[in-house]
Amino acid sequence: MSARRRDSASTAAARAERRAELLATAAEVFASRGYAVTTVREVAEAAGMLGGSLYYHFDSKESMVDEILSAFLTEMWAAYDRVLASGLGSRETFQALVAESFRMIDRHRPAVMIYQNESRYLSTSPRFSYLLDSQERFRQMWLELLDRGVLDGTFRVGLDTGVIYRFLRDTVWVAAGWYRSGGRLTADEIARQYLTMILDGILST
């Protein structure tokens, strides 16, 4: 490789790394302050740069949050699809999906919070219609699994699967508000605690 190509590759790599750092900063700011009220200048200040300099990397605040959410959802659905394609039984699939959810919270906590708090606002724009698509896909995935589990005798008959789905959705993902990477329990350990409570209960008998 020529010296010019090496320099070009090094510059591109440095720019990509800086871009990733800026997205991580933007995600934290959007998650803590709220996307709608956060300005580009505030994101730039958090990143230690001038507001105008941020436009060298992103053309708008909307582009930043789009990349943040798209990256999170792409990784989440890739993980879910691997579980669904693995041929596991209903209980094992349930456990694996919950575990993957907590891993997503661990890796994308600010994005999860933005997704939870801002989806309704963002989805009014055609650019973010994929948020509604993802929510419906998520709902269908869980309802199909729960219905399958009832039919094959894994899950209890008589419980409303719609209620179970909402309980799971709200109970698991709300953890993004308090979970911190490097805490006393890992994401996988918290997932096991949740699964024990959901599947076996908290009573001693």
The verdict on 73 and 35 lying in the same domain is no
Closest CA to 58 of 90, 21, 106, 28: 21
Percentage of the chain modeled with pLDDT above 70:
93
pLDDT greater than 70 at residue 48: yes
Note down the domain range covering 78. Answer: 61-205
Q: How confident is the model at residue 11 (pLDDT cuts 50, 70, 90)?
A: low
The verdict on 66 and 141 lying in the same domain is yes
Task: Please state the φ and ψ torsions of residue 88, each to the nearest 5 degrees.
Answer: -75, 160
Q: How confident is the model at residue 77 (pLDDT cuts 50, 70, 90)?
A: very high
Q: Which residue has the higher pLDDT, 14 or 55?
A: 55
Task: Please state the φ and ψ torsions of residue 17, each to the nearest 5 degrees.
Answer: -65, -45
Return d(Cα 75, Cα 104) in angstroms, integer: 8
Return d(Cα 64, Cα 61) in angstroms, integer: 5
Class of residue 185 by CB neighbours under 10 A (exposed 0-12, middle 13-18, buried 19+):
exposed
What CATH number is attached to the domain comprising 94?
1.10.357.10
Q: How confident is the model at residue 15 (pLDDT cuts 50, 70, 90)?
A: confident
Please state the pTM of the whole predicted model: 0.89
From 41, 59, 77, the end of a domain falls on: 59
Q: Give me the pLDDT at residue 2, please.
A: 62
Q: How far is CA 26 from the centre of its chain?
A: 15
Q: For the segment 81-134, what is each residue's pLDDT rounded down to a tens digit?
A: 999 999 999 999 999 999 999 999 999 999 999 999 999 999 999 999 999 999
Q: Give me the pLDDT at residue 51, please.
A: 75
Closest CA to 56 of 40, 70, 72: 40
From 42, 59, 76, the end of a domain falls on: 59
Q: Give me the pLDDT at residue 134, please.
A: 97
Task: Give the chain's mean pLDDT.
Answer: 92
| Residues 108/176, Cβ–Cβ less than 8 Å | no
